[in-house]
Amino acid sequence: MDTQSLQAFLAVADTQSFSRAAEQLHLTQPAVSKRIATLESQVDARLFDRIGRRIALTEAGSVLLPQARQILFTVEDSRRALANLSGQVGGPLTLATSHHIGLHRLPPVLKQYTQRHPEVALDLHFLDSEFAYQGVRDGSLEMAVVTLAPHPVEQLHVVELWRDRLCFVCATDHPLATQAQQSALSLADLCEHNCVMPGAKTFTGSLIAQRFEQAGLELPVSMATNYLETLKMMCSVGLGWSLLPEKMIDHDLVELNVATAPLHRPLGYLVHNNRTLSNAASMMIEALEGSRSE
């Protein structure tokens, strides 16, 4: 099996589309189809069922999928190990980050890094933290700088760099703003008003929901989005109260005094335990560690 055919196979399996796989690989669709046909000939089995516009893995394709990932993972790991011998810091670095960290934490780190290591081709992906975790696990990403999961994840080395204090906030003319001036609010007081929150399946959303569940309360979520900047806008125009990182609070929002323990979310980086890091990734980790005290 050649690696190009395996890459085409994974691209089609992940996107469930020959056309999207072709875009991802910067190939024509016939070229992708040819590589899949070559691989099917080599393994003597059909790998995809094509039902109308829908693409699905056959049983043989499902068996091959994890093996194909492992083969490409090993090949790339070997290439990195050999490239590292030169001691040079260059080549591609595939890095994922969440939108919030990419906007509020990473810019000074990336500026310093690109100035020091101009030979590195930085391939930056903006992803939800949960998808970034999956990308590092399956090897499509070398590292990620995201909101950290509330529990350890097998195969991943995770390092916390920063902590975001999450603040209860609302619009300046929201009824809760007036109520909070008179006395500290309870979690139950908040639940009498609609809120706008991160998605329930996100790490941040689950962290918030857990606090209310522990108090026997259910969040009255009227709208949800994974983008904190969008949450800030919705909150500032009065669509509901919310919880946002302290760094995002400005004159459009009022921080509410709520009688509950401070709520923090951990931010940091993650890499695969079994992956040989490129020199470029090692230098990125050094830059990130340098930002910890700042």
pLDDT tens string 18-51: 999 999 888 999 999 999 999 999 999 999 988 7
**Is-contact 49 38, C-beta < 8 A?**
no
Q: What are 144's strand-pairing partners?
A: 96, 270
Nearest to 170 by CA among 83, 85, 103, 235: 235
- The pLDDT score that the predictor gives to residue 293 is 54
More confident residue, 182 or 249: 249
The model's pLDDT over 77-103, given as tens digits with 9 standing for 90+, comes to 777 777 767 677 778 899 999 999 999
More confident residue, 148 or 84: 148
For the segment 13-18, the average pLDDT, to the nearest whole number, is: 89
Q: How buried is 28 (Cβ within 10 angstroms: 0-12 exposed, 13-18 middle, 19+ buried)?
A: exposed
Instruction: Give the span between the Cα atoms of 59 and 201, in whole angstroms.
Output: 30
* Residue 200 three-state SS: coil
Instruction: Give the span between the Cα atoms of 68 and 239, in whole angstroms.
Output: 47
For the segment 277-290, the average pLDDT, to the nearest whole number, is: 92
Residue 53 pLDDT grade (very low, low, confident, very high; cuts 50, 70, 90): confident
- The pLDDT score that the predictor gives to residue 96 is 96
- The pLDDT score that the predictor gives to residue 84 is 67
Instruction: Give the span between the Cα atoms of 137 and 270, in whole angstroms.
Output: 10
- The pLDDT score that the predictor gives to residue 286 is 93
Chain-wide mean pLDDT for the chain? Answer: 91
Q: How buried is 82 (Cβ within 10 angstroms: 0-12 exposed, 13-18 middle, 19+ buried)?
A: exposed
Measured at the CA of 147, the angle between CA 97 and CA 228, to 5 degrees, comes to 80
Contacts of 96 (CB under 8 A, 6+ apart): 124, 125, 126, 127, 131, 132, 135, 136, 141, 143, 144, 145, 146
**End-to-end CA distance of the chain, in Å?**
49
Helical H segments across the chain, by residue range: 3-15, 18-25, 29-43, 59-84, 99-104, 107-116, 129-138, 175-182, 187-190, 203-214, 228-236, 279-291
Locate tokens 């090897």: which residue? 139
Buried/exposed code over 89-117 (b: 16+ C-beta within 10 A; e: otherwise)? beeebbbbbbbbbbebbbeebbeebeeeb
Statement: residue 277 has pLDDT above 90? no
Number of neighbouring beta carbons within 10 Å of residue 17: 17
The model's pLDDT over 175-215, given as tens digits with 9 standing for 90+, comes to 999 987 878 999 999 999 999 999 988 999 999 999 999 99
The Cα-based distances of 57 to 10, 51, 54 in angstroms read 11, 11, 10
Percent of the chain with pLDDT over 70: 98
Residue 287, phi then psi, degrees to nearest 5: -65, -40
Instruction: Give the span between the Cα atoms of 59 and 37, in whole angstroms.
Output: 16
- The pLDDT score that the predictor gives to residue 114 is 93
- The pLDDT score that the predictor gives to residue 284 is 95
Statement: residue 227 has pLDDT above 80? yes
